[in-house]
Amino acid sequence: MSKGAASSIVKMKFETLLDEVDGFGPFQILILILLCTPRIVLPCHFLLNIFIAAVPPHRCDISTLDGGGLLQNLSLEQRLTVSLPVQDNGIPKSCEVFAEPQFQLLSNSSSGAHLPTVHCRSGWVYDNSTFTSTLATEWDLVCDRKSLSKTTATIFFAGVMAGAIAFGYLCDKYGRKNTLLASYILSIVFGFCSAFANSYILFTVLRFCTGFGLAGISLISVVLSIEWSDVGHRALIGVMGSLAWCVGNMFLAGFAFLVTDWRMLIMTVTCPLGFAVLTWWWIPESARWLLANSRAKEAQTYLNKCATFNKKPLISNFSGSLQMLSNMKIKDNQEKNYSFIDLVKTPKMRQLTLLTGIIWYRVATTYYGISLNITGFGLNMYLTHFIYAAIEFPAKLMAYFFLNKIGRRKCQAGTLLLTGTCIFINIFMPKGYLWHVRSVIATLGKGLSEAAFTTVFLYTTEIYPTVVRQNGVGYTSFVGRLGVAVAPLILLLEDVWTLLPQIILSSVAIFSGLVSLLLPETLNVRLPETIDDIEKSRLVLIQERHLLWRHDPHRQKNVSFTYIQTTFF
């Protein structure tokens, strides 16, 4: 190889090679489509507890009460009257029964509120008009045990947190594709097993394991699709992929409406992963990861497939270029196994890790805090859930427009600051005749919080270097799930002071918006490959951008051959 050729290769970045084989063509669209099925499954499991843990109307079972044989001569309505105390709205209390039958209530309209009661002694009778069965009806998770029904969601997300850490490490060590298959299999096995659980404890254990497996799908599908995309289309790829969440969320409303038995519903939302396993064979490994791990020949194989699929000619001296790139990226760390420790070993990585953790925690807290507290439209729970899911579509499309228009950092900060502002306005908005205005502002806040979530997924993937990208995304996802777990606890503070939850959520959103301004901008910037890319200020020749986009005349005419100084902080 001549000196001039070697010099050209040294200046070459991975994006340069990716541009040669087309960084956004049929190959990338195929990857996106293949990863859509598992991403549709994610909200079906993440929000499944809304339906399988629902507590239907119920009352104490009085079938075993005898009342000295006198109850046998009474109608069912009369038996309920003498056996169950009623609330102010005339509905029987769910968890109490009179200590003794009160026959005098048959001749007067008293509620019997002053009469002695005891807890249900013979179980409960449930209204099955909406659900055939739920966790609550299966194991009587009502009254004193009502909290156990909500606990299943907490345990599930604990599994997601553990999976985020584990898969973050495994993906950077063993590659994206193989680890993705492992997450598919774990999710299928434990998902179906949980549908056959015969005890509450076994069910919670299996749901934890299901969450563990699904965490891998959540992380890898985002990273893998973006690592195969060129600079100019990363936002489009990220937003298009996230639309699968909206589709899955709407499907969940339909599945839950059609399948009212909790066991069958779990199996229904898990089944699509079987199709995902079949399509896994066509998913390529990340060429970026292969290069970062000194596997240039395999990277060449996948890049050749990309070129062929996109109907692009193979690059001249393809093998030599890839080998040179591989040597450049890992010459000092060829045998190094990266882990979460590398996220905090060096000063700027430490700062990056701290800031992204703060933002993820607060984005998740705000999003789920609003989602759990937003007022419905007076419709049934299925239609309400469908509408809430559909609202996220325009939010994501808005995020895409602004991601490319004003950049990642301003979009992240703007969506969070506006979310906090919407919550703050509703704190002081009168609840009387302006209820419709409050609903519009609350809905706008929810849409903005979803846009913030969409942005942070893409932003985080672009910020972390390839060698620890999956570790970084795993860490931030773990912190985000902590925020999910905290959100319901914040809402409980309403008992202390009615406005306290809204004040906390507003403050959290505004603070995280300000923190995001400390992050680097990644719009039209190549993905960092090594930790050195983060730690060292980089002199970037705009000529590199010319090499990267030389086939794009529109961009080419804006290129000048001057030096610019870029830093991450």
**340-385 tens-digit pLDDT:** 788 888 888 888 899 999 999 988 888 877 776 654 444 577 887 7
- Name the percent of the chain lying above pLDDT 90: 19
Go through the chain and tell me how many residues it has: 569
Q: What 3-state DSSP class applies to 123? A: coil
- Which CATH number describes the domain made up of 347-528? 1.20.1250.20
Of the candidate ranges 73-77, 187-191, 224-228, 467-471, the one whose mean pLDDT is the lowest = 73-77
Alpha-carbon gap, residue 460 to 52, rounded angstroms:
33
Picking from 66, 68, 57, 97, the residue whose alpha carbon sits closest to that of residue 81 is 97
pLDDT surpasses 60 at 123: yes
**26-64 tens-digit pLDDT:** 898 899 899 988 999 998 998 888 888 888 887 787 776
Query: What integer pLDDT is reported at residue 208 of this predicted model?
Result: 94
**7-16 tens-digit pLDDT:** 333 334 677 7
pLDDT band of 278, cuts 50, 70, 90: very high
Assess whether the region 1-56+161-333 and the region 347-528 belong to the same CATH fold. Answer: yes
Q: Which range, 95-104, 191-200, 403-412, has the best average confidence (pLDDT)?
A: 191-200
Query: What integer pLDDT is reported at residue 495 of this predicted model?
Result: 66
Alpha-carbon gap, residue 6 to 19, rounded angstroms:
19
Average pLDDT value over all residues in the chain: 78
Tell the burial category of 317 from Cβ atoms under 10 Å away from its Cβ (0-12, 13-18, 19+).
middle
Picking from 463, 516, 84, 460, the residue whose alpha carbon sits closest to that of residue 242 is 460
Residue scoring higher pLDDT (295 or 363):
363
Q: What 3-state DSSP class applies to 97? A: strand
392 and 444 in contact (C-beta within 8 Å)?
no
Q: Which range, 17-21, 201-205, 243-247, 476-480, has the best average confidence (pLDDT)?
A: 201-205
Tell the burial category of 511 from Cβ atoms under 10 Å away from its Cβ (0-12, 13-18, 19+).
middle
**224-237 tens-digit pLDDT:** 888 888 877 877 88
* Token pair for 410: 């301003």
Query: What integer pLDDT is reported at residue 301 of this predicted model?
Result: 84
Of the candidate ranges 152-166, 275-289, 348-362, 435-449, the one whose mean pLDDT is the lowest = 435-449
Residue scoring higher pLDDT (445 or 540):
445
* Token pair for 89: 């709205």
Picking from 165, 175, 167, 166, the residue whose alpha carbon sits closest to that of residue 289 is 175
Residue scoring higher pLDDT (130 or 214):
214
- Which one-letter amino acid corresponds to residue 89? N
Of the candidate ranges 322-326, 370-374, 548-552, the one whose mean pLDDT is the lowest = 548-552
Tell the burial category of 561 from Cβ atoms under 10 Å away from its Cβ (0-12, 13-18, 19+).
exposed
pLDDT band of 212, cuts 50, 70, 90: very high
Average pLDDT in the 527-552 region?
56
Bridge partners (DSSP) listed for residue 58: 126
Query: What integer pLDDT is reported at residue 200 of this predicted model?
Result: 92
What are the domain boundaries of the chain?
1-56+161-333, 60-126, 347-528, 537-566
Query: What integer pLDDT is reported at residue 434 of this predicted model?
Result: 62
Alpha-carbon gap, residue 204 to 200, rounded angstroms:
6
pLDDT surpasses 70 at 458: yes
Bridge partners (DSSP) listed for residue 541: 563
**490-538 tens-digit pLDDT:** 776 776 777 888 888 889 999 999 999 998 888 877 778 778 777 774 4
Residue scoring higher pLDDT (468 or 569):
468
pLDDT surpasses 50 at 549: no
Query: What integer pLDDT is reported at residue 324 of this predicted model?
Result: 56
pLDDT band of 67, cuts 50, 70, 90: low
- Name the percent of the chain lying above pLDDT 70: 79
DSSP code per residue over 267-284: HHHHTHHHHHHHHGGGPP
DSSP code per residue over 503-553: HHHHHHHHHHHHHHTTSPP-TT-PPP-SHHHHHS-EEEEHHHHHHHTTT-H
Average pLDDT in the 107-130 region?
74
pTM assigned to the model: 0.75
pLDDT band of 551, cuts 50, 70, 90: very low
Q: Which of these CATH numbers, 3.20.20.140, 3.30.310.50, 1.20.1250.20, 2.60.120.10, describes 1-56+161-333?
A: 1.20.1250.20
pLDDT surpasses 60 at 564: no
546 Cβ neighbours under 8 A, 6+ residues apart: 556, 559, 561
Alpha-carbon gap, residue 274 to 38, rounded angstroms:
9
Average pLDDT in the 402-406 region?
84
* Token pair for 510: 């505004």
Of the candidate ranges 51-55, 286-290, 324-328, 477-481, the one whose mean pLDDT is the lowest = 324-328
